[in-house]
Structure 1
Amino acid sequence: MKKIIGLLFVITTLTASCKNTNKKTATDTSTDSTTSQTDALFETAWMNDLSLNNGRKWEANKETTEGVLKMQTLLQSETTHTIEEYVHLAGKLNVVKNEVVKECTMEGASHDNLHLWLYPLIKKIKAFSEVKSLEEALKLKQSIEEHLKVYATYFQ
């Protein structure tokens, strides 16, 4: 029940305004250790909440799809051997993610599903910008790459 209430809170908060990038979209009320918070980033339970549009992919706005492709390109093209390079990449991903949020024009169920997909990505990019070890950075980079691939399963 808490999971459903939390999910409804996230959806309500995110759907209230895609255009306001300065608005805080959710609050982390977790009191677990940093390790537990980091581990939570790699959970994929959010995927269980995504759905297709009667068996078909949802129509996404052009800016969202282009943003996802830009993030995928950045992940493939940027050199990442040091923590500083990973953090720099995270900054670039964050800029593109902010553009996606700002340019969101989707409505209804497609919009709701987009935000079910987008919210965990936002958390991963934020954590990616704060990495403290190369192991953590690599793990987050791979998780973000996998997360971006899921977009093509549900959106076109």
Structure 2
Amino acid sequence: MEPRKLARIILGLAIIAFGALTLFLSTSVLLDLFGIRERESPYVPSVVVANLIASLLYLPAGAGLLMKGRWTAELLATAVVVLIVGAVLLALHIATGGEYRTGTIGALTFRTLLTAAFYLIARWSLRATDHPATPEPMNRILLPLILLAIASLQSSCSEHTHDAAAHDDHTAAAPDSTPATVHDALPSVKLDNGQRWKANPETTTGIANMVGILDTYDPSSGDPKDLKAALDDEFKLIFERCTMTGESHEQLHNYLIPIHHALADLDGIREADRDTIAALLARYADYFE
């Protein structure tokens, strides 16, 4: 079997399998199947949608390779462009202080580069042997776009990277009055050169309101659903009314992450869940004033 034909068949099957996996994962997050959204939280919708669109391009592209359709490479090129747009939107999301997982950056970069490799191999395997190997215009367009997307992600990510040593300094300085399990759940929140950060009044009020909601809740007569709804509403208002910027905003973001996850797990029935949230809220005064 000719090398080009063998490469075409193997690549076609690989792209179909990769597309099916990507389609399953993307739809699972969007539709919250199997509880995957909670495990992947915080997820970035623009990235998930870009992955979904790319998966819908992978499947016909893989089939096209098996049928030796020359339009296959164009589908893969389109998938690369879609992922690059997703990378740019992710960079903007990070730059504006949106929540994200560090792994999202690496996964999207890998997917974009892999799709670009699929495109290049598809062009090679579909090219007639008697045609001269001339550079394709699309190749010259995709490479700068990929490099631009990676540079945007790296730049945005670097603005949100925190030094591990600073976290160690903060851990030694801040009082450790919470249970070990709660403390371990906290992200890398650090002080402002040993001093607490200045928070906007609305944020401080929102935290106090959440503490009050928990304090006044009576497990014997209260509705667990109402408790969760009240805490969720107040938590959303903290984000909506926050006017903090710069490093103080980043540290607030780090502080709120474990509360976000604790609220997602809260059913209002388990006392341990309520105690976890109360302990996290109690640490607000350790970092902000």
Category of TM-score, reference length = shorter chain: 0.5 to 0.7
Match of 2:282 among 135, 146, 149: 149
In 1, Cα distance between equivalents of 2:275 and 2:201 = 25
In 2, Cα distance between equivalents of 1:91 and 1:71 = 11
**TM-score computed with the length of structure 2 as normaliser:** 0.38
Q: What is the letter of the counterpart of residue 198 of structure 2?
A: E
Question: What residue in structure 1 maps to residue 265 of structure 2?
Answer: 127
Question: What residue in structure 1 maps to residue 191 of structure 2?
Answer: 52
**TM-score computed with the length of structure 1 as normaliser:** 0.67
Check 1:145–1:108 CA distance in 2 against 1; reply closer, same or farther (3 A cut).
same
Q: Classify the secondary structure of the residue corresponding to 2:239.
A: helix
Q: What is the letter of the counterpart of residue 151 of structure 1?
A: Y
- Report the count of equivalent residues: 123
Q: Where does 1:14-33 land on structure 2 (aligned, <5 Å)?
A: 16-17=96-97, 25-26=99-100
Match of 2:235 among 64, 75, 97: 97
In 1, Cα distance between equivalents of 2:217 and 2:273 = 15
Structure 1, 142-151 or 42-51: larger mean CA deviation: 42-51
Q: Classify the secondary structure of the residue corresponding to 1:72.
A: helix
Question: What residue in structure 2 maps to residue 61 of structure 1?
Answer: 200
Q: Classify the secondary structure of the residue corresponding to 2:196.
A: coil
Question: What residue in structure 1 maps to residue 273 of structure 2?
Answer: 140
Which of the pair has the greater relative contact order for Cα pairs under 8 Å at 6+ separation?
Answer: 1
Q: What is the letter of the counterpart of residue 144 of structure 1?
A: I
Q: Deviations over 1:13-56 (max 9, x none)?
A: 576257xxxxxx447x9xxxxxxxxxxxx553353611111111
In 2, Cα distance between equivalents of 1:46 and 1:56 = 22
**Pair 1:113 & 2:251 matched:** yes
Would you say the 8 A contact 2:210–2:231 is kept in 1? yes
Q: Deviations over 1:52-108 (max 9, x none)?
A: 1111110001110000000000100122237x7223211100000000011111111
**Pair 1:85 & 2:223 matched:** yes
- Structure with more of its chain in helix, by fraction: 2
Q: Percent identity?
A: 25
Q: CA RMSD in A?
A: 2.9
**Rg larger in 1 or in 2?**
2
Check 1:78–1:43 CA distance in 2 against 1; reply closer, same or farther (3 A cut).
closer
Check 1:14–1:106 CA distance in 2 against 1; reply closer, same or farther (3 A cut).
farther
In 2, Cα distance between equivalents of 1:64 and 1:141 = 20
Structure 1: which 5+ runs fail to align?
1-8, 19-24, 30-41
Would you say the 8 A contact 2:202–2:238 is kept in 1? yes
Q: Classify the secondary structure of the residue corresponding to 2:223.
A: helix
Would you say the 8 A contact 2:259–2:280 is kept in 1? yes
Question: What residue in structure 1 maps to residue 114 of structure 2?
Answer: none
In 1, Cα distance between equivalents of 2:281 and 2:264 = 15
Structure 2: which 5+ runs fail to align?
1-42, 45-90, 104-180
In 2, Cα distance between equivalents of 1:90 and 1:58 = 28
